[in-house]
């Protein structure tokens, strides 16, 4: 635990008289109590690509292994935290800016946060990545073809966008900039949800980003 002063004036914030309040409990302390490595698993892809479905299934799998998690999903964040934002390019940038800060707070608490957002712009995702230490940010690209996403259209949004009833819809009249080097690439038109979960769990285990807990193995 840290014994330094809890107050730290940051150079770029001093003019606004903002002083960061440092906790005497560090990020490492919180992670140690939870017996895990905090991280942000960022799922990006088109609407209907399987982000929310996979994030929910992955959270269940991690929780069953005794991990402390929290799921942030676009549809759950916009009605409250980001209810003032629309869907213009500028609003999407601000949406992701806020979410990256919330995601960082969760990892600072020692939690594994799963963030499922379309996050269509490369520059925004790069800013998210740069906020985290090396190895703590895992970009999962839901590389499901647009045709499959449109065929699923669980909310009827593609149909409305094609009819001109929704403007600035990603994949139709607003661009999606696909990640070039994501940590994990998944296509739910070719893989089941269970297959995707197993792939992600294997990725985390192979790189020692998570460890199998005794309660999960029955030891």
Those residues with Cβ within 8 angstroms of residue 120's Cβ, 6 or more apart along the chain or in another chain: 44, 92, 170, 174, 175, 176, 177
Residue 58 lies in a domain: yes
Domain of residue 175: give its range: 36-212
pTM assigned to the model:
0.86
Band (pLDDT 50/70/90 cuts) for residue 24 is confident
Residue 113 lies in a domain: yes
Tokens of 103: 């995601």
Residue 89 lies in a domain: yes
Element (H, E) at 85: none
Q: What is the mean pLDDT of residues 35-39?
A: 94
CB of 46 closer than 8 Å to CB of 118: yes
For 151-202, how does the pLDDT look when each residue is reduced to its tens digit (9 = 90+)?
999 889 999 999 999 988 999 989 999 999 999 999 999 999 999 999 999 9
Residue 25 lies in a domain: no
Task: State the first-to-last Cα distance of the chain, in angstroms, to the nearest integer.
Answer: 31
Residue 12 lies in a domain: no
Q: In the prediction, which pLDDT does 219 show?
A: 43
Q: What is the mean pLDDT of residues 32-56?
A: 96
Give the HSE-up count for residue 96: Cα atoms under 13 Å, Cβ half-sphere: 24
Q: In the prediction, which pLDDT does 2 show?
A: 47
Residue 83 lies in a domain: yes
Q: In the prediction, which pLDDT does 20 show?
A: 72
Residue 154 lies in a domain: yes
Active site residues: 119
Q: What is the mean pLDDT of residues 129-155?
A: 95
Residue 10 lies in a domain: no
Q: Any idea what the CATH number is for the domain that residue 89 is in?
A: 3.40.50.300
The count of domains in the chain is 1
Taking the C-alpha atoms of residue 203 and residue 191, their distance in angstroms, rounded to an integer, is 16
């Amino acid at each position: 635990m840290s014994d330094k002063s809890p107050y730290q004036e940051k150079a770029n914030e001093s003019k606004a008289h903002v002083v960061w309040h440092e906790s005497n409990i560090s990020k490492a302390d919180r992670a140690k109590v939870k017996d895990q490595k905090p991280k942000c698993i960022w799922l990006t892809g088109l609407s209907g690509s399987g982000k929310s479905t996979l994030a929910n299934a992955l959270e269940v799998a991690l929780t069953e292994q005794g991990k402390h998690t929290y799921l942030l999903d676009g549809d759950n964040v916009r009605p409250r935290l980001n209810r003032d934002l629309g869907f213009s390019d500028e609003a999407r940038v601000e949406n992701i800016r806020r979410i990256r800060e919330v995601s960082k707070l969760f990892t600072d608490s020692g939690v594994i946060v799963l963030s499922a957002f379309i996050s269509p712009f490369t520059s925004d995702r790069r800013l998210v990545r740069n906020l985290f230490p090396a190895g703590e940010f895992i970009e999962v690209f839901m590389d499901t073809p647009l045709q499959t996403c449109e065929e699923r259209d669980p909310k009827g949004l593609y149909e409305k966008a094609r009819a001109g009833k929704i403007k600035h819809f990603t994949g139709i009249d607003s661009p999606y900039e696909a990640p070039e080097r994501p940590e994990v690439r998944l296509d739910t038109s070719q893989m089941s949800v269970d297959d995707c979960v197993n792939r992600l769990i294997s990725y985390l285990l192979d790189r020692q980003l998570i460890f199998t807990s005794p309660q999960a193995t029955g030891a």
